Structure 1
């Protein structure tokens, strides 16, 4: 297949140590890439737990966080096989790639740190201590800052990517889990999840210039991840408790609609044109495809066990 991934997406299956390669044009799973071949022959339980993925700028290598064993797997997408593993911290969750300094940043949820990896040497450069239970991380638009959501500290840590020093940590609302930025990077949207459906979740909106909270909007019961719509008027938010995608009107600060998907939806991504939404349903082992404008489900595609991460190329 080479490295032509037009109209294809990758899905990390945490419950079976595989990556599903899905053809969106024909809405089918084409094949799976095994991250741990021993799983299929000797071990019944998954030992890696792939959670999140990024791809290099040449679309040759896929990097995957393995939450169960503290490593990053590197997959050669021409050979469709793992060529290397780099050990980072405990329970690595999310990654971002900075082309500016040729580094990959990894959040280590159980060791309260950010690992910095060299893309060229594929080795660990630094460990940066942050708040408790860092989960999602995002780069500012100029790649000069790294935003870290610390779930158990209720904080957002800002790291200078030139020096890898912490600039500051600010308090946000409870359980900041995922982060989304608008196109120009002026607004930061934080998904505050809830481990109690009675309490409910919320979206915190910050001004990235002065890092002041602009608004907090209550939403759903257990919001997990969010993506911003094509026109930046809408925020699509998965809700694991409601088994739905909440559709939030950002300007009017109100719930516009709710699309019910599979059981325990977590990861949500959109294609590069903003036409489709892809939702991973952890308990149904499926991927839901939604028309973002019409808010209609187009297809539900069976994938691997516990799809926890989605990557659109």
Structure 2
């Protein structure tokens, strides 16, 4: 473990303190910052600078914050840095980076496994998953998976970790009790992101496309026997998906069409499309199910969509290449 303490700065405004209500945070991959947005006023309150001193003046980002997650007490913010093979831990009470942990090359996504008190990190260029102790922040295991692992999600009981391998067209299932691979299955080309329903019996894999002619799709699997139930064609370049409140629809960002698709799962067809900024990727919703938040990579903005009528409420400028989004 490599520590780099005190690498933190507030670009403007006051620190977070311990008041996180009605806030969302956005990882700006192109400038090594985190934007803090207030949902009441619908604007950026301040930025958290992850690089300090001379490194911050370098135009090219050296960290590349990509994905974020909160611990269960909402005290620590964990951030994957895809450019330097590490995750940063920000203490939200002290307003500073308290630790950096070295993982694999090009870390993408993370989850916290409450069952074994571990953090799992996907390493896209190392073709591996790093298992890190949540208590002492040391590396427990480096688990080999398929090529270019990107997104990871835990099963409802936290005994299985699902990994999408973009380069292998597979989904790897890891036994979290053993920290070893249980099986890998084919899930159609370019599996990029993954989401599960609340019951945990259905897995939805977003298969993106790097060809305008081919288009993308959603692969639906039964988590019990890991059998493919369906493949639904969707858009041109789908990136990430999130289930609606009643789990009857999927909201799917499409980086090619600059839109969010609304897919009726039971009927297997698109029922709506909301146009947002350029190259939308990440998508999140608030706990009250009032809004969708979409990160537009080329516009350097966040689009807020009202879930009641699926209308764009506002586009908020943030940092360069907004990637991960977290709602408090």
The normalised TM-score by structure 1 is 0.98
Per the alignment, in what secondary structure is the counterpart of residue 53 of structure 2?
A: helix
Q: Deviations over 1:257-299 (max 9, x none)?
A: 1100000000001111222100000000000000123110111
- Find the counterpart in structure 1 of residue 144 from structure 2: 129
Q: Distance in 2 between matches of 1:200 and 1:11?
A: 28
- Find the counterpart in structure 2 of residue 69 from structure 1: 84
Q: Deviations over 1:122-181 (max 9, x none)?
A: 111110000000000000011010000000100000001011111100111100000000
Q: Distance in 2 between matches of 1:3 and 1:249?
A: 39
- Find the counterpart in structure 2 of residue 251 from structure 1: 266
Among 155, 163, 178, which residue is 1:163 paired with? 178
Task: Give unmatched runs, 5+ long, in structure 1.
Answer: none
Q: How does 1:83-232 map to 2 (within 5 A)?
A: 83-232=98-247
Shifted more, 3-12 versus 137-146: the winner is 3-12
The Cα shift of 1:79 comes to 2.5
Residue pair 2:203, 2:222 contacting (<8 A) in 1 also: yes
Residue pair 1:157, 1:169 contacting (<8 A) in 2 also: yes
Shifted more, 211-220 versus 30-39: the winner is 30-39
Residue pair 2:206, 2:238 contacting (<8 A) in 1 also: yes
Q: Deviations over 1:48-107 (max 9, x none)?
A: 000000111111111000000000011111222211110100000000001111110000
Q: Distance in 2 between matches of 1:82 and 1:33?
A: 10
- Find the counterpart in structure 1 of residue 310 from structure 2: 295
Q: 1:159 to 1:165 in 2, by over 3 A?
A: same
Shifted more, 80-89 versus 254-263: the winner is 80-89
Q: 1:41 to 1:66 in 2, by over 3 A?
A: closer
Q: Distance in 1 between matches of 2:94 and 2:298?
A: 30
Q: Distance in 2 between matches of 1:204 and 1:163?
A: 27
Residue pair 2:17, 2:95 contacting (<8 A) in 1 also: no
Q: Distance in 1 between matches of 2:56 and 2:33?
A: 14
User: 4+ residue stretches of structure 1 with deviation over 3 A?
Assistant: 38-42
Task: Give unmatched runs, 5+ long, in structure 2.
Answer: 1-15
Residue pair 1:3, 1:59 contacting (<8 A) in 2 also: no
Q: Distance in 1 between matches of 2:112 and 2:127?
A: 19
- Find the counterpart in structure 2 of residue 5 from structure 1: 20
Per the alignment, in what secondary structure is the counterpart of residue 37 of structure 1?
A: coil
The Cα shift of 1:3 comes to 2.5
Shifted more, 73-82 versus 234-243: the winner is 73-82
Shifted more, 175-184 versus 268-277: the winner is 268-277
Q: Distance in 1 between matches of 2:63 and 2:314?
A: 29
Shifted more, 289-298 versus 135-144: the winner is 289-298
The normalised TM-score by structure 2 is 0.94
The Cα shift of 1:39 comes to 5.7
